[in-house]
Amino acid sequence: MTLLHSSPAVPALRPVRPALAPISLKAVLRHATPRVLEGMILPVVVCYVAMVFTGLYGGLAAATAWVYGRVAWRLVRRETVSGMMLLAAGAITVRAVVAALNGNAVLFFLPECLGVFCASMGFLLTAPLRRPLIQRVAADLVPLPGHLHEHPLMRRFYVRLSVLWGGAQLLNAGLTLWLLLSQSTETYLIVRTSAVAVLLGGAGLASVLSFRRCLRALPG
């Protein structure tokens, strides 16, 4: 008579998620700073500086040349053109054409103000969604394993970040519009650049510090 031996039950194996390596503030800044500078800050700085010395058309030409020059440089070197650079190229083209045809600096800066307002609304309105707009931006700057985005701690972090940047950009848009309509171009350039640097710099620092606290609280 053959005896049948039942093998012991083998517990189902759960996929092991790799531990999250510590992310330092320096690593975050090294990854994000070049992209933000190239696609968002430097085109505006080039335009402002050139406009002070050469007038409206010189500023438009310098900003357009800068953006397309950077895109061409990356293509020649067979490097990836960042999404921020592509957005900057499209935005600078539309704004330069509209302002040049009308000869009015206000028409060059006004779309920027409207764009900032739309960005603030995008951050605030998408805060409660499963994947808010701020999460997409954060993923471009600081890549994270996909499973971390679904963690409750990260979800709460994205809500706080959406409110922070939505409010900061709303203040930015309001200040920009007031300066644009009430002050000279020279005053607008000086005051607005300084105020926005302080405002967004503070929001950026608060975001990085909050991000580090959130990562430390996540399970390894």
pLDDT at 61 (0 to 100): 85
Average model confidence (pLDDT) for the chain? 77
Contact 122, 133 (CB under 8 A): yes
pLDDT, one tens digit per residue, over 176-191 is 899 888 888 778 878 8
Question: Measured between alpha carbons, how far is 217 from 156 in angstroms, rounded to an integer?
Answer: 12
pLDDT at 174 (0 to 100): 92
Q: What is the pTM of this model?
A: 0.62
Predicted confidence (pLDDT) at residue 41 exceeds the cutoff of 80: no
pLDDT band at 91 (very low <50, low <70, confident <90, very high): confident
pLDDT at 160 (0 to 100): 92
Neighbours of 87 (CB within 10 A): 14
pLDDT at 25 (0 to 100): 57
Mean pLDDT of 125-153: 76
- For 13-24, b where at least 16 C-beta lie within 10 A, e where not — what string? eeeeeeeeeeee
Q: At 82, is the secondary structure helix, strand, or coil?
A: coil
Q: Which residue has the higher pLDDT, 38 or 51?
A: 51
Distance (Å) of CA 183 to CA 18, 168, 169 = 55, 22, 20
